[in-house]
Chains A and B, each alone.
Chain A
Amino acid sequence: MTTATIEPPTSAEPRRITPTERPEFAIDVTGVSKVFGSRRRPVRALRGIDLHVPRGSIFGLLGPNGAGKSTLVKILMTVIKPTQCRGTMLGKPIGHKGALARIGYLPEHHRFPDYLTAEQVLDHFGALALVPRSDRRKRIPELLELVGIRAWAGAKVKGFSKGMRQRLGLANALVNDPDLILLDEPTDGVDPVGRRDIRNVLFELRSRGKTVFLNSHLLSELEMVCDTVAILVQGAVSSQGTLDELTRYSRRYEIEVEPVAGGEGGATNAGTQPSALLHRALKPLLAGNVEAGAKDGVSESSLALKASDGSQVPVLLRENALHVATDDAGAIQVLIDALRSAGVVIRSVRPVRATLEDLFMRAVTDPTTGETLKPGASLEDRP
Chain B
Amino acid sequence: MNLESMYQEIILDHYKNPHGRGLREPYDAESFQVNPTCGDEVTLRVAVTGSNGEAKVTDVSYEGQGCSISQASTSVLTDLVTGRTVDEAMTTMDAFVEMVQSRGKIEPDEDVLEDGVAFAGVAKYPARVKCALLGWMAFKDAVARANGGTA
Asked if A and B bind, the verdict is: no
Interface, chain B (partner A; CB < 8 A): none
